Amino acid sequence: MPVPARATRGRFHFASLFSPSHVPRGARVAARVAFRIADCNGRSGRHTGCKKYDRCPVQTVDHPTCVAYLAAVAWAATGRILARPVAPAPRRSALSIRPVNILLPLVEPQPRAQRREHERHKLAKRLRHQVGRAIADFGMIEDGDKVMVCLSGGKDSYTMLDILRQLQLKAPVKFELVAVNLDQKQPDFPAHVLPQYLESLGVDFTIIEQDTYSVVKRVVPEGKTMCSLCSRLRRGALYAHAAAHGFTKIALGHHRDDLVSTFFLNLFFHAKMGGMAPKLLSDDGQHVVIRPLAYVREEDIAAYAQARQFPIIPCNLCGSQENLQRKQIRRMMEAWEKESPGRIETIARALGDVRPAQLSDPALFDFPALGRRGQTPLPDAHAWLAGEPHASGDDDPDGRGLDGHDPAGCAPP
């Protein structure tokens, strides 16, 4: 039976090191062999039966056979061991077990650069999985599609382009990606950044130049929200370019948090339940808009953009306004997530599990048909409110009016 494992302030018995609960079977077998060839009577000097001493990385002077050979076994099992003999342990049966002070780093720490690279690969894999699942769930991309990837210079659009290019290499269908940026002629806009970056990747791209900045600044009063007009002008320019160059899909970089915040914007400020659809048809029916990042968290996008070191270009229009309703919603969502982690993900999943029968929209669910007993047309709301009293008195048994008052003008009791 092995000696029970015990340790006090860094002092371990070798028998404890090789007990069944600590090391694999191969190391235990090697330890038993080492004990058999050791000088068990405690005599100093090298045992002639030991074949490992010369190759042992740690050579000791006191009781070299036992200590050095066990050190070699521990080196093979753990990667590193430093042994120093101390006073002999009390005699146990025929075998004296010698305790030693040891330093045992079980696993060499992984270099920081390797850890960062490993985490980046894990994050990229998760993003590819989420984007691929969104493409499959909503049928975003088909064989032969020509996808216009709208690139603004922000972290979202950079990440979308990067992940789509990775998926394109192994996708089950063939499709074309073209990056398109709208230069709105904002002051101090670094117009050289995007072309240089896209050329370094070898990506086909087009830069559309249209001065929407001056239009927005001229039309929108100072301090008012610019997003609505800016988005309409930008959307019009992108739609016109897509129609002129035969693009079959228009990819936008909205992510999961954008979809959730839009839902609450419509709920709180417009009294309707609606958000950003992952895939939609434009109002004129000519363009299909897709949002491949519909399942991706903004937090993951920010981490990925930082790891990839994208050349981020800040927005001087909508991004510079702090009084936006969307930013208020974002702060609310951040507080929710801090208080109850996972709440935003739950809301995002709920947007994909809508049950019209449990809401109140007659356009989505045929409530009048529930339990209907005949085919006679049902009266509308006007008939219920402005209809004439029935000729029969059966509906007014106490002689009062339909409003509960006496026709003679007497107050009800």
The alpha-helical segments, DSSP class H, found in 7-97 are: 14-17, 25-37, 64-78
Check whether 50 is labelled as a binding-site residue: no
**Lateral strand order in the sheet of 100-103:** 7-8, 11-12, 100-103, 82-85
Cα(344)–Cα(275) distance, rounded to whole angstroms?
A: 14
230 is in an annotated binding site: yes
For 193-232, b where at least 16 C-beta lie within 10 A, e where not — what string?
A: ebeebbeeeebebeeeebebbeebeeebeeeeebbebbee
> Residue 373 to residues 297, 376, 383: CA-CA distances in angstroms?
49, 9, 20
Where do the DSSP E strands lie in 184-231?
A: 205-209
d(CA 198, CA 393): 83
Q: Which residue has the tokens 């000519």?
A: 286
Quote the longest CA-to-CA distance of the chain: 129
Q: Is 410 annotated as a binding residue?
A: no
DSSP string for residues in 291-355: -TTTT--HHHHHHHHHHHT------SSGGG-S--HHHHHHHHHHHHHHHSTTHHHHHHHHTT---
Q: Which residues are documented as binding site for [4Fe-4S] cluster?
A: 227, 230, 318
Q: Which residues are documented as binding site?
A: 227, 230, 318
